Amino acid sequence: MKVCGIVAEYNPFHNGHLYQLAEAKKKTGADVLVVAMSGNFLQRGEPAIIDKWQRAQAALNHGADIVLEIPAAFSVQPADLFAKGAIELLELMGIDVLSFGSESGEGSDFLISAQVYLEKEQEIDALFQKEQQQKLTYAKNMSRLLSKHVPEIKLDLAQPNNILGFAYAKELQKKNCSIAIETVRRRSSHYHDQEIRVNEEIASATAIRKMLFSSDDWKDNQHLPFPEDTKVSLEHSKLIKWDDFFPYLKYRIMTTSLEELSHIYLMEQGFEYRVKALIKDAGNMHEFLTALKTKQLSWTRLQRLCFYILLDQSKEEMDKRTDQIDYIRLLGFNTSGQTYLREIKRELEIPLVTNISQKNNDLVGYDITVGEVYRLADQDSIKSQDYKRKPVKMD
């Protein structure tokens, strides 16, 4: 049985994701597609627009056979740590090949580039310290440096999907895995496209979220860039955004001492003074991040920092949580997925969590906390994210 792994967020699930699932299965010849999906808070530091259960259901409706949750400790992270959690999870599940969307490059390009990078990592780090420009973000600085000094790396690492794909490839090389890579070239829209073209079949998730939050007019549109079941989920859910958590974030910052803020995960030295000073006059998340942003700290990095302030997570705590994967959280499966789960269950090195009980409550405690925080956006409409929830089962 050939097994293909996919790393995803599905925020929300759209036609581009549907295309990628179909292409991954076709190009790899896989019998089973295993998706490692972020839970309710995502890699860029944002809350998911709808909860993890609805997004897992959509994936199963359109080609996934098993959906697993990337633990929250790894899901809201820079590319390398995000990749560490996702790849470790999929490796534990016994995948043969990893498939992901990319702006350019074949699977071999990613693996070769990752190998070159790891061989020259110390040299690259030294050059980075010497040549980085303060006005540029880390990603742009690194892309510029590699283009200049390491021409063997032919990938455009200023592109977001390529950045993540490169991180996955590095993690596979570090582990000396035999897992192959099969890329699916991105179609139509660019990752950061802000607008949806008329009658466009595939649009970026960024453009889709902008449309969803701008007004309710999209509900009457007969030609949307996502499947009908996604439309139904979106129509019947509160659409979650950072502003839903901003009052809690503001309270946390205003009532936390500078000393305590300085120990928050991802907090730059001395940056707590800026955070503390600017929160007072901010009326919403956009105002706060706009005031907070510097040339060196990207919007994404600041969103992640705000997430960890909201969760009151210290550097010491997060270092422990990101040491390794301790459990596999199953969100859903279909008949093919169930067959594969039965086949490998005895071989799994860590617990497979299908529901939350007293036996595993401590094991998944951080994810439970993250789920409860997510519900603060609207406790009347958002169901419990962990207690009394069983994996979605598709016939």
- Quick: pLDDT tens for 152-177: 998 888 888 999 999 999 999 999 99
Residue 160 annotated as binding? Answer: no
Q: Are residues 261 and 342 in the same domain?
A: no
CB 356 within 8 A of CB 364: yes
pLDDT at 158: 84
Q: Are residues 272 and 391 in the same domain?
A: no
Q: Are residues 255 and 287 in the same domain?
A: yes
Residue 161 annotated as binding? Answer: yes
CB 181 within 8 A of CB 169: yes
Give just the sign of the alpha carbon dihedral 76, 356, 315, 264.
Answer: positive
Residue 11 annotated as binding? Answer: yes
Distance CA 27, CA 99 (A): 9
Q: How confident is the model at residue 198 (pLDDT cuts 50, 70, 90)?
A: low
pTM for this prediction: 0.94
Query: Is 188's pLDDT higher than 60?
Result: no
Lowest-confidence region among 93-102, 150-159, 185-194, 309-318: 185-194
Residue 387 annotated as binding? Answer: no
Residue 332 annotated as binding? Answer: no
Q: Are residues 194 and 306 in the same domain?
A: no
296-353: per-residue pLDDT in tens? 889 999 999 999 999 999 999 999 999 999 999 999 999 999 999 999 999 999 999 9
Residue 101 annotated as binding? Answer: yes
Q: How many domains does the chain have?
A: 3
Residue 78 annotated as binding? Answer: no
pLDDT at 70: 98
Residue 8 annotated as binding? Answer: yes
Residue 9 annotated as binding? Answer: yes
The residue whose two tokens read 């803020």 is 261
Q: Which range marks the domain in which residue 386 is found?
A: 1-104+160-237+324-395
Residue whose C-alpha is closest to residue 156's, from 147, 164, 148:
147
Q: Pick the residue with more confidence: 358 or 19?
A: 19
375-395: per-residue pLDDT in tens? 999 999 999 999 999 999 998
Distance CA 395, CA 384 (A): 24
Q: Identify any residues that bridge with 330 across adjacent strands, giving them in sequence order.
A: 68
Q: Are residues 67 and 170 in the same domain?
A: yes
Q: Are residues 45 and 166 in the same domain?
A: yes
For residue 93, the domain's CATH number is 3.40.50.620
Residue 351 annotated as binding? Answer: no
Residue 392 annotated as binding? Answer: no
Question: What integer is the mean pLDDT of 66-91?
Answer: 98
Q: Are residues 248 and 310 in the same domain?
A: yes
Query: Is 79's pLDDT higher than 90?
Result: yes
Distance CA 100, CA 358 (A): 36
Query: Is 138's pLDDT higher than 70?
Result: yes
Query: Is 223's pLDDT higher than 90?
Result: no
